[in-house]
Copies of this chain bind each other. A is one copy, B any other.
């Protein structure tokens, strides 16, 4: 089957930088490419937009198909449109940033992706296409937005301790926070509600909070 147009049309794809926290460290989800070009190289999950879906739906679908995960938070942050960024044909990449809680770690491969795997952001393999640049910008964007705190909820389970939230904040922004000031800031933002339950670890139990409103 062939599709013909009077003027040249670019291909349009979404690429998704999915982040999670594992053992306190920020990780990104990569796939090993199962086809040319860059066969065998690691890349961000993503793929071409279908005629009947918008770009958000495309990002969600590709993520599900290639890695088996569904992100709570998923939003567009930049486009990449250099004419020769893909050697096959002209492909405009619509880049998405996604976040998910650390316990949903079941990842699966597919026909396009030989395998999917979490990598700590400090220890990445070389990436296909211009995906290193996309990832760099995704990290910068995430760091800037994390200051608002509410985005971080997407990296944590539905109920979390303030210490967990602070650890997420520090992992994402790269800056250390003072415990008391951080708690004051978060509680003053009115973005969490305390529950009556506590997390029991190996020491004093910590009160569990959940996202407010």
Contacts and interface: CB of A to CB of B under 8 A. Distances in A.
Interface of A: 1-12, 48-56, 76, 78-79, 81-83, 89-90, 92, 94
A103 B188 CA distance: 45
Contacts of A7: 3, 11, 48
Contacts of A52: 83
Contacts of A53: 83
Contact of A5 (B9, B56, B78, B92): B9
Copies per assembly? 2
B6 A9 contact: no
A46 B12 CA distance: 18
A9 B3 contact: yes
A172 to B, nearest CB: 21
Contact of A54 (B3, B49, B78, B82): B82
A50 B8 CA distance: 8
Nearest to A52: B83
Contacts of A81: 49, 54-56
A49 B5 contact: no
A6 B12 contact: no
A11 B12 CA distance: 9
A10 B79 contact: no
Q: Which 4 A-B pairs have the closest CB atoms?
A: A9-B9, A55-B81, A54-B81, A4-B4
Contacts of A56: 81
A4 B3 contact: yes
Nearest to A91: B9
Given A3-B4, A5-B11, A52-B83, 13 more contacts: A1-B6, A3-B6, A3-B7, A3-B9, A4-B5, A7-B11, A8-B51, A9-B11, A10-B51, A49-B81, A49-B92, A55-B79, A79-B79
